[in-house]
């Protein structure tokens, strides 16, 4: 089969979509499939992505925007219009020109799968609400309705699709990581020294965008109310400032008198990210809205236990004793933090071991990619219907 993945970007600023789309594409390539990945990226970003992910440069295609307002490229539109050889298009995320490209390739005969990756969650739809309503009416609803299959990476995304009134079959297939991620090793002392972090404290890591939907306004008050319990810990926030939200976070830290317990650090990529993981003892993502956050899978693969909210489907954290999956509010986050600080070093180590076991059991691309190929064969060649279709 000739398979094309489309995504807005697979570079540093892709917020996990790069590692998802290329991670899946790489695993499918290793199964012997004919794979390419299309994006709106520049040559510089393509070269970085090829090196960072170990993916063949000749299979990555970037089409820098000709029309920035709709993030579209004349060159990509022409290529899609003339290409009738593609069997499967797997689109990652919505609201970009890639939806238009998917529609063109569908009209040329390709079967299409669309993964929303959290972009249809109720909280997310409230951001840029007018623009999304316009996009839905102009092209996005038709693109979704005409998809052969919708791809949900969490149970909540199944609900998101149905709430929009979509009747398509839905494939529930989680995100994953490559098996190499289980072997990565960083230098935690180097990270702590570089950013002058206290070396005698345990680290609770937040690594994601610094943006309103990620729940820092719940996390910081929860930490404040646990000041005494939190004495042996610090919270390290690693991420980029989105919507100029970082000054608000800094104001909260000052108002709550957390300056000696909370540190904000610039985004970390590649080997530097593994240094952050190595320096950390627990991971937290207290979000209001998510799809299936890639950073949680990456943290677990490194052996970090995780606290996250029920904005995404992470019941496994409780079931496999590798963290805490809690309701979306400050009090439940506070209770999880208290439980975390009560863990002995031996218990922390067991949670870490459980994290790696969970990834090996359920979240490696090696096995997940086989499910996607089964899905493609079903829609392209009328094979047996997979048991993960809803």
pLDDT band at 72 (very low <50, low <70, confident <90, very high): confident
DSSP codes, 320-388: TTSEEEE-SSHHHHHHHHHHHHH--HHHHHHHHHHHHHHHHHH-BHHHHHHHHHHHHHHHHH--PPPTT
Cα separation, 245 vs 243, whole angstroms: 5
Residue 70 has what pLDDT?
63
Average pLDDT over residues 360-367: 96
Residue 297 has what pLDDT?
96
Q: Model's pTM, two decimal places?
A: 0.91
Residue 127 has what pLDDT?
82
- Of residues 97 and 286, the one with the higher pLDDT is 286
pLDDT band at 203 (very low <50, low <70, confident <90, very high): very high
Residue 126 has what pLDDT?
85
Segment 107-134, tens digit of pLDDT:
999 999 999 999 998 888 888 888 898 8
Average pLDDT over residues 214-221: 97
Domains observed in the chain: 2-176+364-381 (3.40.50.2000), 179-362 (3.40.50.2000)
* H or E element at residue 221: helix 216-224
Residue 345 has what pLDDT?
96
Residue 69 has what pLDDT?
64
- Of residues 66 and 112, the one with the higher pLDDT is 112
Q: Mean pLDDT, the chain, as a whole number?
A: 95
Average pLDDT over residues 168-179: 96
Residues in CB range of 214: below 8 A, 6 or more apart: 206, 208, 285, 286, 287, 288
- Which pair of structure tokens corresponds to residue 148? 């052969």
Average pLDDT over residues 172-201: 96
Segment 307-317, tens digit of pLDDT:
999 988 899 99
- Of residues 68 and 202, the one with the higher pLDDT is 202
């Amino acid at each position: 089969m000739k398979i094309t993945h489309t995504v807005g970007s697979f570079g540093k600023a892709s917020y996990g979509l790069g590692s998802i789309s290329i991670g899946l594409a790489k695993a499918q390539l290793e199964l012997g499939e004919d794979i390419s990945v299309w994006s709106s990226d520049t040559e510089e970003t393509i070269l970085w992505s090829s090196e960072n992910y170990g993916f063949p440069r000749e299979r990555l295609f970037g089409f820098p925007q000709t029309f920035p307002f709709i993030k579209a490229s004349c060159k990509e539109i022409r290529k899609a219009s003339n290409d009738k050889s593609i069997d499967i298009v797997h689109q990652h995320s919505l609201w970009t020109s890639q939806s238009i490209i998917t529609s063109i390739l569908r009209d040329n005969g390709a079967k299409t799968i669309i993964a929303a990756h959290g972009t249809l969650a109720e909280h997310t739809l409230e951001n840029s609400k007018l623009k999304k309503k316009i996009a839905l009416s102009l092209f996005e609803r038709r693109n979704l309705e005409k998809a052969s299959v919708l791809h949900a990476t969490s149970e909540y995304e199944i609900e998101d699709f149905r709430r929009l009134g979509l009747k398509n079959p839905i494939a529930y297939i989680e995100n994953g990581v490559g098996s190499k991620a289980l072997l990565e090793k960083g230098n935690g002392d180097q990270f702590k020294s570089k950013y002058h972090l206290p070396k005698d404290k345990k680290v609770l890591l937040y690594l994601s965008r610094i943006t309103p939907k990620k729940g820092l306004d719940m996390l910081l008050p929860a930490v404040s109310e646990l000041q005494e319990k939190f004495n042996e810990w610090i919270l390290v926030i690693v991420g980029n400032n989105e919507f100029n939200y970082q000054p608000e976070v800094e104001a909260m830290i000052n108002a709550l008198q957390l300056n000696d317990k909370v540190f904000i650090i610039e985004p970390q990529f590649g080997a530097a990210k593994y240094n952050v993981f190595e320096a950390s003892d627990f991971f937290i993502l207290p979000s209001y809205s998510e799809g299936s956050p890639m950073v949680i899978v990456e943290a677990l693969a490194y052996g970090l236990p995780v606290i996250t909210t029920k904005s995404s489907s992470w019941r496994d954290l409780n079931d496999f004793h590798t963290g805490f999956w809690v309701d979306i509010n400050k009090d439940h986050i506070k209770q999880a933090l208290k439980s975390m600080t009560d863990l002995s070093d031996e218990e922390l180590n067991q949670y870490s071991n459980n994290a790696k076991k969970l990834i090996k059991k359920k979240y490696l691309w090696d096995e997940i990619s086989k499910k996607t190929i089964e899905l493609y064969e079903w829609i392209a060649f009328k094979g047996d219907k997979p048991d993960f279709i809803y």
